[in-house]
Amino acid sequence: MFLRGVLLMEKNLYTKGRWRNCNVGFRLSEEEAKLLDELVELSGLAKQDYILTPGRYVGIEEQEEDGEPFEEKMARLTGELSELFAQSHTLEDEIRQKLEAIGYGL
C-alpha cells in the first residue's frame, strides 16, 4: 500500500542545486490508491522492484538475417545512396532557379 501524507527527510533536502535520496509521498483518496495499485500490478512494475529506469523496459528486437552477403549489400546500398544524392542535387538546382525567378536567389 502507498504512504499517505508528505515525507521529506531533512538531511536530503536541497543541497547544491540537487535533490538526492529524497523520499516524497503524496495524498491519495482510497479510490485513487486502489486504481494506482491495480495499474502498478498490471504494468509489472512490482516485479521490477518499482525501478523505473528505461533500460529495463526498452529493448531492441532481433532482426533476421536476410542472407545477402555484407559486401554485396553495402555495394547496393551505397549505389542507392549515390543515386539519391544525385537526385538531391538536381532538386536543389531546380529550387534555386525557381527562387531566382521570383527574386529570391541564394
Give the whole-angstrom CA distance, residue 14 versus residue 22. 9
Q: Where are the domains of the chain?
A: 10-56, 69-106
For residue 65, the 8-state DSSP code is: P
- Residue 1: pLDDT band (50, 70, 90) is very low
For residue 18, the 8-state DSSP code is: B
pLDDT score of 6 more than 60: no
3-state DSSP assignment of residue 61: coil
- Residue 80: pLDDT band (50, 70, 90) is very high
Of 7 and 24, more confident: 24
∠ CA 44-2-47, nearest 5°, is 20
pTM score: 0.39
39-57 pLDDT, tens digit each: 767 666 667 777 777 766 6
Mean pLDDT estimate for the chain: 76
